[in-house]
Amino acid sequence: MLHYPSPLSKLLENFNRLSKPTSELLASKLKLCVHDKNSKILSIGNNDKYVYFVITGLIRKFYINNGKEVTSSIFTSNDIIISFNSFFNQTTSTEAIETINETELYKLHYEDYLFLAETRPDFIEIMSNITLDHINSLEDYNKLLKIKTPFDRYKMFEKLFPKYRGKLPNSILASYLNISYSEISRIRAKILKSYY
């Protein structure tokens, strides 16, 4: 029986539907990386050559609109990150992937992903389910942005994404919710006050 390092064991638990041979092959292809706070994992204009599996930390995707960074997705433990267009088409990315705090993750290279996808049906089935989960998350995010008042948008964010509650800097949360920094500060102060 193979014994994996602790972070890898934690990751593979999330892939418990993989056969033993597929799990062992995946483990052999993964590379562990540790990134400091505010590190670029992918820069705009570069090709995304990896799928990222988050062990610990917070990460965001963002793009530039009229000179401003717009956070489009947020990830944490057990999430999988792909810049979809860049990765699957191997084209330059229009978005960046950046750590919010110190982050530990595994990465799987594009060529290794293709090999697994072409030779291991159980791997591609799980990755397809993960892609569907990502699409559902994007639909929730789009619904969120349609809520008119900043306060109601913030409250819905906490309902839809409780795992991020209290963990995001105001600047990133404001960008993600399309709310001004000062408005986010007021909302958080108002909620905090209501607890006392």
Do the domain assignments include residue 15?
A: yes
pLDDT, tens digit, 9 for 90 and up, residues 29-62: 999 999 999 999 999 999 999 999 999 999 999 9
* Section 112-117 average pLDDT: 94
On the question of pLDDT at 196 being above 60, the answer is: no
On the question of pLDDT at 27 being above 70, the answer is: yes
Do the domain assignments include residue 97?
A: yes
What would the 3-class secondary structure string for 82-95 be? CCHHHHHHCCECCC
Do the domain assignments include residue 105?
A: yes
Residue 178: closest CA among 195, 161, 153: 153
On the question of pLDDT at 3 being above 60, the answer is: no
Do the domain assignments include residue 60?
A: yes
Provide the domain limits for residue 63: 6-119
Backbone angles phi, psi at 54, to 5 degrees: -80, 130
User: Which pTM does this prediction carry?
Assistant: 0.85
CATH number for 93: 2.60.120.10
Do the domain assignments include residue 72?
A: yes
Retrieve residue 58's tokens.
Answer: 């917070």
| pLDDT given for residue 131 in this prediction | 79
Split into its structural domains, the chain has a count of 1
